[in-house]
């Protein structure tokens, strides 16, 4: 195996560079070393790059970025039985302790001792070789390529969001945000039998894509003057009327983290409906709690993925039920990683999902 291991390193806030790192050692006999083939850029990667923290996770030392990846198994530990050298895999980037109460209940996304790629202090996957637990790698079916393998991660996030919502057939689903996670939630909801899926965004081009992807209806909110909360309530009323949601949506999935969307989402949910917060924005906002109480809403938060989400995401992509290739708008070589990150940061119209090829 080559001794070189180029890596895309976040040295400090707004300071990234490609560095030559040593090939990582396997952390246990049950680990494998993956030769990374494709990596998608996530908003959290950009957030660490620009701000150096997400909640309690703070950048105190350099880390390698990236966590949406696929590749080929290059080395296996002596205890590995499910994989062999040469297997093509998608990587689930968060490996929990497996021993705490959360892990034993299947909610390993809540494990405090999770080793999660590109979450301080842990290195991510934007390097030639990445070590990971063998049971957190999933073989790619022959019909899936490495780009689709990298897209399993955001698809699994959408699967988890719909799982948290306890989404069922014949429900109406309102999704705020038509970015990658938002449209994947719309697509998963349709596959799961939603009667009507409505997508909301402030970008007309993203809404048009959503309409061609998983949304039955789309809504571009107008700018309203006056009290922000009252404006959000008016927007919610417009959504319900224009999109035929009656008293409100059965399920609201909030994938933006934007305060007006959060407020409108609560107002747009029907009595007894379910509201799931998945988008992350400001840490503290004005929340219409009285409306949530009076309408007896079930309010939940969603983070990462739990038992079964990754296999489900692989199946959804491999079966052709969700076409993740359509989300990929830009492709870069590994040497162009910083350029790729700059493009994502710019949030330009028409840029959806950006992929970085691995080091050959």
User: How far is Cα 324 from Cα 337, in angstroms, rounded to an integer?
Assistant: 21
Residue 349 has a pLDDT of: 87
239 lies in which domain range?
166-301
Residue 215 has a pLDDT of: 98
Give the count of domains, the chain. Answer: 2
pLDDT tens-digit readout, 113-162:
999 999 999 999 999 999 999 999 999 999 999 999 999 999 999 999 99
- Cβ contacts of 74 within 8 Å, gap of 6 or more: 1, 32, 33, 34, 35, 85, 129
Same domain, 70 and 48: yes
Residue 209 has a pLDDT of: 97
Same domain, 244 and 322: no
Same domain, 221 and 272: yes
Residue 281 lies in a domain: yes
Residue 161 lies in a domain: no
Residue 347 lies in a domain: yes
Question: Is the bond preceding 212 in cis, omega lying within 30 degrees of 0?
Answer: no
Judge contact between 123 and 53, C-beta under 8 A. Answer: no
Percent of the chain with pLDDT strictly greater than 70: 99
Please classify residue 354 by burial: count the beta carbons closer than 10 Å to its beta carbon, then call 0-12 exposed, 13-18 middle and 19+ buried. buried
Degrees, nearest 5: CA angle 164-170-175:
50
User: How far is Cα 94 from Cα 309, in angstroms, rounded to an integer?
Assistant: 13
Same domain, 46 and 140: yes
Which among 301, 333, 348 is the end of a domain?
301
pLDDT tens-digit readout, 218-264:
999 999 999 999 999 999 999 999 999 999 999 999 999 999 999 99
Half-sphere exposure of 304 (CA within 13 A, CB side): 20
Please classify residue 172 by burial: count the beta carbons closer than 10 Å to its beta carbon, then call 0-12 exposed, 13-18 middle and 19+ buried. buried
- Is the confidence at residue 183, as pLDDT, over 60? yes
Q: What is the pLDDT confidence band of residue 99, given thresholds at 50, 70 and 90?
A: very high
Q: What is the pLDDT confidence band of residue 2, given thresholds at 50, 70 and 90?
A: low
Degrees, nearest 5: CA angle 141-143-147:
90
Half-sphere exposure of 80 (CA within 13 A, CB side): 26
- Is the confidence at residue 330, as pLDDT, over 80? yes
Give the β-pairing of 196-200 and 4-12: unpaired
User: How far is Cα 50 from Cα 346, in angstroms, rounded to an integer?
Assistant: 12
Residue 160 lies in a domain: no
Same domain, 173 and 295: yes
- Give the three-class secondary structure for 8: strand
Residue 357 has a pLDDT of: 98
Residue 55 has a pLDDT of: 82
For the chain, helix (H) and strand (E) counts, in that order, are 11, 20
Residue 80 has a pLDDT of: 98
Residue 100 lies in a domain: yes
- Is the confidence at residue 338, as pLDDT, over 60? yes
- Is the confidence at residue 212, as pLDDT, over 90? yes
Residue 118 tokens, joined: 């590109």
The residue among 311, 347, 314 whose CA lies nearest residue 329 is: 347
Same domain, 17 and 151: yes
Same domain, 85 and 190: no
User: What CATH number does the domain containing 99 carry?
Assistant: 3.90.180.10
Residue 56 has a pLDDT of: 86
Residue 90 has a pLDDT of: 98
Residue 88 lies in a domain: yes
The residue among 90, 20, 2 whose CA lies nearest residue 334 is: 20
Residue 256 lies in a domain: yes
- Is the confidence at residue 344, as pLDDT, over 90? yes
Same domain, 23 and 139: yes
User: What CATH number does the domain containing 288 carry?
Assistant: 3.40.50.720
Q: What is the pLDDT confidence band of residue 3, given thresholds at 50, 70 and 90?
A: low
Residue 70 lies in a domain: yes
User: How large is the average pLDDT for residues 89-106?
Assistant: 97
Q: Count of CB atoms within 10 A of residue 17's CB?
A: 12
Same domain, 292 and 210: yes
- Cβ contacts of 41 within 8 Å, gap of 6 or more: 66, 68, 340, 341, 344, 353, 354, 355, 356
Same domain, 31 and 129: yes
Q: Count of CB atoms within 10 A of residue 247's CB?
A: 13
Same domain, 253 and 334: no
Same domain, 340 and 277: no
């Amino acid at each position: 195996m080559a001794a070189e291991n180029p890596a895309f390193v976040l040295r400090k806030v707004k300071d990234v560079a490609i560095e030559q790192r040593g090939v990582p050692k396997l952390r246990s006999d049950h680990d494998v070393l993956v030769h990374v083939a494709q990596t998608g850029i996530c908003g959290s990667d950009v957030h660490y790059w620009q701000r150096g923290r997400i909640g309690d996770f703070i950048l105190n030392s350099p880390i390698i970025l990236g966590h949406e990846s696929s590749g080929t198994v290059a080395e296996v530990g002596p205890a590995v039985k499910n994989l062999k050298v040469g297997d093509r895999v998608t990587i689930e980037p968060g490996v929990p302790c497996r021993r705490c109460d959360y892990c034993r209940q299947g909610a390993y996304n809540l494990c405090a001792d999770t080793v999660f790629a590109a979450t301080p202090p842990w290195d991510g996957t934007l390097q030639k070789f990445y070590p990971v637990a063998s049971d957190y790698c999933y073989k790619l079916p022959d019909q899936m390529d490495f780009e689709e393998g990298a897209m399993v991660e955001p698809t699994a996030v959408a699967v988890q969001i719909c799982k948290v919502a306890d989404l069922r057939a014949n429900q109406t689903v309102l999704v705020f945000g038509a970015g990658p996670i938002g449209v994947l939630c719309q697509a998963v909801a349709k596959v799961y039998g939603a009667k009507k899926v409505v997508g909301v965004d402030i970008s007309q081009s993203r809404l048009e894509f959503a309409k061609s992807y998983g949304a039955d209806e789309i809504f571009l909110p107008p700018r309203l003057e006056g009290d922000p909360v009252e404006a959000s309530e008016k927007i919610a009323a417009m959504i319900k009327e224009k999109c035929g949601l009656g008293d409100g949506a059965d399920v609201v999935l909030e994938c933006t983290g934007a305060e007006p969307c959060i407020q409108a989402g609560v107002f747009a949910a029907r009595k007894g409906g379910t509201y799931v917060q998945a988008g992350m924005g400001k840490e503290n906002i004005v929340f219409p709690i009285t409306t949530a109480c009076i309408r007896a809403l079930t309010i939940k938060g969603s983070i990462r993925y739990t038992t079964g989400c990754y296999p489900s995401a692989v199946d959804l992509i491999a079966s052709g039920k969700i076409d993740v290739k359509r989300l990929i708008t830009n492709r870069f070589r590994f040497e162009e990683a910083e350029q790729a990150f700059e493009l994502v940061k710019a949030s330009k119209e028409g840029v959806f999902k950006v992929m970085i090829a691995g080091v050959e």
